[in-house]
Amino acid sequence: MYHAKVVVTLRRSILDPQGKAVEHGIHTLGHEAVENVRIGKMVEMHIDVASRDEAERIAKDAAGKLLANPVMEDFHVTVEKVG
Amino acid sequence: MYHAKVVVTLRRSILDPQGKAVEHGIHTLGHEAVENVRIGKMVEMHIDVASRDEAERIAKDAAGKLLANPVMEDFHVTVEKVG
């Protein structure tokens, strides 16, 4: 059994209005030193297969076909053994 | 300058219907081995302060007061030096 984490982020060249809104909120808390806030998604899953390679292949396939929009987003997959 | 990453996840005891929907989608791709899909948020930011401790303090304050819902969510902060 493996635990996979897929982090999906907007490409650097794409404006992130949600991030801008959060940045404004953080400034309102008094933290003016915060900038370049960007919001991404993190999708975790368990994958019940025998090898790390197979788990990584499945997580990358799911990320590329379902979790990330290839036009606007990048993704990064990490896999670790559990249980 | 520091780069902080805040990962916000639903507590284990809270049902994640969005995760269930994504899990169903992944199964439809043919990956039946995938289970326990959970969706979280990842918020990245630059923090222009002199010390790592100060950057971590700011990121944790923003996470606890603004980014995470303390009733339903946990958060994890990582900070690394950049630039």
Residue A51: its pLDDT value, please?
96
* pLDDT tops 90 at residue B78: yes
* pLDDT tops 90 at residue A37: yes
Whole-number Å distance between alpha carbons of B83 and A37: 16
Question: Would the ipTM clear 0.85, i.e. be above it?
Answer: yes
CA dist B11 → A58, A77, B14, B42 (Å) = 25, 22, 5, 15
Q: Which residues does residue A80 pair with via DSSP β-bridges, in sequence order? A: A3
Largest interatomic CA distance in chain B: 49
Residue B83: its pLDDT value, please?
78
Whole-number Å distance between alpha carbons of A21 and A25: 6
CATH of the domain at A32: 3.30.1280.10
Contacts of B46 in chain A (CB under 8 A): 34-36
Computed over every residue of chain B, the mean pLDDT equals 97
pLDDT, tens only, A4-28 = 999 999 999 999 999 999 999 999 9
**CB-CB under 8 Å, B26 with A44:** no
**CB-CB under 8 Å, A37 with B43:** yes
- CA–chain centroid gap for A43, Å, is 7
CA dist B79 → A11, A70, B49, B55 (Å) = 21, 28, 12, 7
Query: How many separate domains does chain B show?
Result: 1
Q: Which domain holds residue B24?
A: 2-81
| CA of A27 vs chain B CAs: smallest distance (Å) | 9
Contacts of B26 in chain A (CB under 8 A): 45, 62, 66
pLDDT, tens only, B16-44 = 999 999 999 999 999 999 999 999 999 99
Q: How confident is the model at residue B55 (pLDDT cuts 50, 70, 90)?
A: very high
